[in-house]
Structure 1
Amino acid sequence: MSENGAAGANGNEQPPQIKMNILGQFVRDLSFENVMAQKGATGEIQPNINVQVNLDAKKRAAEHQFEVSIKLNIDSKSKADNDQLFLLEIEYCGVFHVEGVPEEQLHPFLMIECPRMLFPFLRRIVSDVTRDGGYPPLNLENIDFVQIYRAELARRQGEQGGQTANA
C-alpha cells in the first residue's frame, strides 16, 4: 500500500491542515490603581484577589485574519478589613492568521486556542505591573479557556430560553 493511495483507497479524507500564526500582540488598554500607596498604608497585608476574565474575537479586513482579546479585571482587597489594595485592568490582544479550521469550529478555536497562546505573555505583564507597583508579583494561575467558553455558551442558551418563554 502506498502512502499516497492509502487515504484515497479507503475513501477517508485527510482532515484539513490547520495553520495558525500570531502576527502581532499588543496591550490595548492598561490601568493600575495602587490604592494602598495613595492612602499611605504600609505593613504586611494579606490580599484577597479576584480575577474576572472576558474574551472577544473578531474578523479583520484581511482574509483569514482575526483579532482576539483577553480582558482581565483584577481586584485585590485586604483579607483583614476588605480595604482596596489595588485594581488592575488590562486588555491584551493578538492578531492571528488562521486557515484550515472548519467554519463550525472556528469560533471555539478563536475563543480557546488563541487566548491560550496569548496567556503566557499576559501573565508576564500582570506579574511585572504588580511587582513594579510595590506588591509581590502576581503570578496568575492557568486559565481554563474551555470552561470559560462552555460557561458563556450556557449563559447565552439560558438567555435565549428565557426570551422564548416570555414571547
Structure 2
Amino acid sequence: MAATPETTPESNATGDAAQQTPQVSNRIITQYVRDMSFENILAQKGIKGDAVPEIQVQVNVDARKRGAENQYEVLTKLNITSKTKESGEPLFILELEYAGVFQIAGVPDDQMHPFLLIECPRLTFPYIRQIVANMTREGGFQALNLEQIDFVALYRAQLAARVEAQKKEAENKPVN
C-alpha cells in the first residue's frame, strides 16, 4: 500500500485558500503622451507688474479594454490653469492626456473598474508629474511639481457624480 501524506485541517485550509486566491499581476506594457498642449498666455499678452500665480488642476481618469487578452488602456487627463491672484488674468494653460497600457491578471471582474481607475494611474503619475514640471519650466515658468493625487477620492467622486446624473435622468424621464 502506498503511503499518503497526512493532511491536517490547518494545512488543508491554507492550501484551499492559496488555490482560491488568484495571484494579481499588473504590468505596464507601454505608456505615452496621447495629447498635450501648452499655451503661454503671459508671453502672448504680457502682464504688467509682479504676477503671483494661482494654480488650478483638474484631473479625470478613464479606462477601456483593448483587443488583446487582459490588456487595458488607462488615460489620465489633466487640465492645469494658472492665473494671477490679483486680477485673475491667465498666465498659462497646460492640457495633458497620458495613457498607460497595462496587462492585468488575477483581478476579479467586480474589482476591475476601481483597480483600473485607482491603481493604474498611481503607477503612471510619477511620469505625468515629470512631464508637467518639464513643460512649465520649458514654457518660461517655475517648474510645477504636482502634489500627489488621491485617486481613491477621485474615483469616489466620479461614482457619486454618475449616481447623481442617473437620479436626475430618472426624475426627468416621462412616466407612461
1:8 aligns with 2:6: no
* Aligned partner letter, 1:94: G
* Aligned partner letter, 1:76: S
- The equivalent residue for 1:48 is 54
- Could you tell me the TM-score, scaled by structure 2's length? 0.87
- Could you tell me the TM-score, scaled by structure 1's length? 0.92
1:24 to 15, 20, 30: 30
Alignment of 1:92-103 (within 5 A): 92-103=98-109
Structure 2 CA distance for aligned equivalents of residues 9 and 71 of structure 1 = 45
Alpha-carbon spacing, 1:9–1:88, altered in 2? closer, same or farther (3 Å): closer
Q: 8 Å contact 1:126–1:138 — kept in the other structure?
A: yes
Alignment gaps of 5+ in structure 2: 1-5
Alpha-carbon spacing, 1:7–1:91, altered in 2? closer, same or farther (3 Å): farther
Structure of higher CA gyration radius: 2
Structure 1 CA distance for aligned equivalents of residues 85 and 28 of structure 2 = 40
SS of the counterpart of 1:23?
strand
Identity of aligned residues (%): 53
Alignment gaps of 5+ in structure 1: none
RMSD between aligned alpha carbons?
2.3
- The equivalent residue for 2:97 is 91
Structure 2 CA distance for aligned equivalents of residues 7 and 18 of structure 1 = 23
Cα offset for 1:43? 5.5
2:81 to 75, 79, 84: 75
2:161 to 150, 155, 161: 155
* Aligned partner letter, 2:129: R
Alpha-carbon spacing, 1:130–1:17, altered in 2? closer, same or farther (3 Å): same
Alpha-carbon spacing, 1:9–1:54, altered in 2? closer, same or farther (3 Å): closer
1:165 aligns with 2:171: yes
Structure 1 CA distance for aligned equivalents of residues 119 and 11 of structure 2 = 28
Report how many aligned residue pairs link the two structures.
167
- The equivalent residue for 1:115 is 121
* Aligned partner letter, 2:12: G
Q: 8 Å contact 1:7–1:13 — kept in the other structure?
A: no
Cα offset for 1:80? 1.4
